[in-house]
Each structure stands twice: as C-alpha cells, then as structure tokens.
Amino acid sequence: MAKIKFYAERCKGCGLCVLVCPHGNIRMSTELNETGHPYAVLVDPARCTHCALCGRMCPDMAIEIDDPKTSKKDKSGKPRE
C-alpha cells in the first residue's frame, strides 16, 4: 500500500489539497509552520484511499505519495534495474 507524507515546512497553506480530497480527509492545521503558514494535515490515515490527488495538486511538493508498486527503488532504497 502507498504511504503518504505531508511536509509541513514546504506547505504555503494554499488549501488546494483540502479541496481535491474526495473524502474530506485533509484539513489545514491551526498551527503555523516555520514560514508562518498554516499547513495541511491528514485527518485520519485509515480513511485515506491513496488516490494521490492531493500530491498531484500541491504546487509546493509538500505531499509525497510513495507507492511500492510503482517505485523505482527496492525495499532497501536502491534503484531497481
């Protein structure tokens, strides 16, 4: 299954990920990151279907979706041949 990671320090608080999540499972934090912006957080990881719409929409690359099925690296992190 894919893993999703939100990078608070990259987020500028645009909220596009919140708008595109089909399950309403992303919200903006009430806290601010180091640059003074609210940042996106995943509400309930169990409800995430890993559709990757949030990561594709993010202009700041603050959301990373790592899908082992499509990754170019093996389990040890080495590039696959």
Which structural domain, as residue segments, surrounds residue 57?
3-66
Q: What pLDDT digit, counting tens, does each position of 3-57 carry?
A: 899 999 999 999 999 999 999 999 999 999 999 999 999 999 999 999 999 999 9
Cα angle value 56/57/62 (rounded, 5°): 80
Question: For the domain that residue 12 is a member of, what is the CATH number?
Answer: 3.30.70.20
Q: What pLDDT is recorded for position 67?
A: 73
Q: What pLDDT is recorded for position 48?
A: 92
Within-domain flag for 81: no
Beta bridge partner(s), residue 3: 66
Within-domain flag for 41: yes
Within-domain flag for 9: yes
Q: What pLDDT is recorded for position 58?
A: 97
pLDDT at 71 over 60: no
Q: What pLDDT is recorded for position 80?
A: 53
Cα R_g (the chain), whole angstroms: 14
Q: What pLDDT is recorded for position 69?
A: 66
